[in-house]
Amino acid sequence: MRKTLSETKSFILLLASVFVVFIGVVVIKANSTIVLTTAGVVAITLSIIWGIKWDDIQSDLLENLGAMLQSILILLSVGMLVGAWILSGTVPVMVYYGLKVLRPSTFLFAAALICAIMSVMTGTSWGTIGTVGVALMGVSTGLGVPLQYTAGAVVVGAIFGDKLSPLSDTTVMASAVSNVDIVDHIKYMLYTTLPGFIISLILYLIIGFRYSGGTVTGDNLHLILNTLEETFNLNPILLLPPIVVLLLIFMRKPTLPVFAIGITLGCVLAFIFQGSNILEIANALNGGYTNTTGVEIVDTMLIRGGLQSMLGTVALLIGAGVFGSPLRTAGVIQVLIDKITSKVKNQKGILASIYLLHGGLFAITGSYYVTFAVLAPMVRTLYDRFGLHRKNLSRTLEDSGTAFAPIVPWSVTGAFIATTLGVETIDYILYAPMTYLGIIFGLLYSISGFKIAKSDTLVTNVKLKGVNA
């Protein structure tokens, strides 16, 4: 039987950990990986002093890191994929034709819609961001649209599709842990997701007005196009890798093998069409594309990618694991849940409390896979007790997890986006309103009672603690 901390010590542990994170990130502005690791060490030290066994902490830490392994491998794969696709000319081709077709005034609007459609079809925000998103960032530079605007549009589109796709792992997981039919779950999410998406699209149209006379017809455009033509063999066949990758993802093939195929195709095409040798290909996979054209704006588009570019993100994820594990082991999460069950007396209270609790836990752990799996089985009987349909829970998980993730810098998704798109989280937050509007709409619905689904029967005899029904 594992020992857990008392309520008082649990809150002290939580406050101490959060305080370290706040001081490190906000005040000192230190590296997030170091800050999270330091906070984790503080939490581990206090836990051991108060009697928590190191073996238990280590077990949970290894379990959390093991759960992150697939994400880490995907991160490394995306780094190599981007390097291979730039070297092969795949990304340059997409940028080249994107510059010819898209216009600055409607670019952000189109980028969000393109990513939304792709993400719905494939069920993966990561796949969409790592392929179409990377290309759109290059087009953005060419059109003279600030990268933070484009990153926001890409994120909004990708997350919109991820939340509403029956092929998405988060959609499946949120409905599964809540014991809710996946179709009912998706339909119910429209009430919080669609308004945020529409507001985001309106924002992009408004921003686009500022670029109605943009650089698309100017000398800058011709310089970029001419440089790409001189640097790469821009054969349309080079579009084959993203087509194959997106098709395989749409067919629900495993992500890692799909990315491996995409990397292989990029390497083969680099050899055939760009004349790259094995050493150049290996260097691109490791360190990204490094060849300079002498044109700064083009170099900004192209010099990126490689396995090495993702190592900082991997370290960040490990730091997040070190931070979150002792809180779980010490029973801090269970204490928070017990606190809610003792204070909440009505439907509005339970709805708002779980929104805030899950959002807070996600902000601490940085992984919705962890918070979905840990929190949902513990609280779903609360919804039965208060006569609420469990799809309220599944929606809450996605609004305060899946959609919220891109704007939490140390989360798995936030770190992936910042590294892949080359834009810091803090820079694109304001231009990705859907990521936080879902929580706002959800809380407003909770308080007002608007579009809150009730259960068929009211359960009054539910044992709240430790139930996994």
Please give the C-alpha separations between residue 390 and each of 180, 336, 373, 454, in angstroms, as whole numbers.
6, 20, 15, 9
In a domain, 24, yes or no: no
Predicted confidence at residue 215, as pLDDT, reads 45
Predicted confidence at residue 84, as pLDDT, reads 94
76-95: b (≥16 Cβ within 10 Å) or e: bbbbbbbbbbbbbbbbbbbb
In a domain, 2, yes or no: no
**Residue 468 above 70 pLDDT?**
no
Predicted confidence at residue 308, as pLDDT, reads 92
Predicted confidence at residue 463, as pLDDT, reads 42
Query: 275's torsion region: left (phi>0), alpha (psi -120 to 50) or beta?
Result: left
For the chain, what percent of residues have pLDDT higher than 90?
36
Which of the four pLDDT bands, split at 50, 70 and 90, describes residue 300? confident
**Residue 335 above 90 pLDDT?**
no
- What is the extent of the structural domain holding 301? 68-318+332-469
For 68-86, the pLDDT digits (tens) are: 787 788 878 888 988 999 9
Name the most confidently modeled range: 274-283, 295-304, 379-388: 274-283
Which of 57-66, 229-238, 272-281 has the weakest average pLDDT? 57-66
Predicted confidence at residue 248, as pLDDT, reads 85
In a domain, 298, yes or no: yes
Predicted confidence at residue 302, as pLDDT, reads 82
- Let me know the angle formed at the C-alpha of 198 by 347 and 301, rounded to the nearest 5 degrees: 125
In a domain, 57, yes or no: no
In a domain, 200, yes or no: yes
For 228-250, the pLDDT digits (tens) are: 899 999 999 999 998 898 788 77
Radius of gyration for the chain, computed over Cα atoms and rounded to the nearest angstrom: 23
Predicted confidence at residue 453, as pLDDT, reads 86
In a domain, 414, yes or no: yes
Predicted confidence at residue 167, as pLDDT, reads 65
**Residue 461 above 50 pLDDT?**
no
Which of 209-213, 293-297, 306-310 has the weakest average pLDDT? 209-213
Chain Cα centroid distance, residue 107: 22
Mean pLDDT of 375-404: 88
Name the most confidently modeled range: 127-136, 215-224, 253-262, 455-464: 253-262
**Residue 469 above 50 pLDDT?**
no
Q: Give the C-alpha separation, 114 to 104, whole Å.
A: 15
Number of domains in the chain: 1
**Residue 110 above 60 pLDDT?**
yes
Which of the four pLDDT bands, split at 50, 70 and 90, describes residue 433? very high
**Residue 420 above 80 pLDDT?**
yes
In a domain, 323, yes or no: no
For 175-211, the pLDDT digits (tens) are: 888 888 888 888 899 999 999 999 999 999 999 888 7
Mean pLDDT of 389-403: 93
Mean pLDDT of 415-433: 92
In a domain, 268, yes or no: yes
Mean pLDDT of 98-122: 83
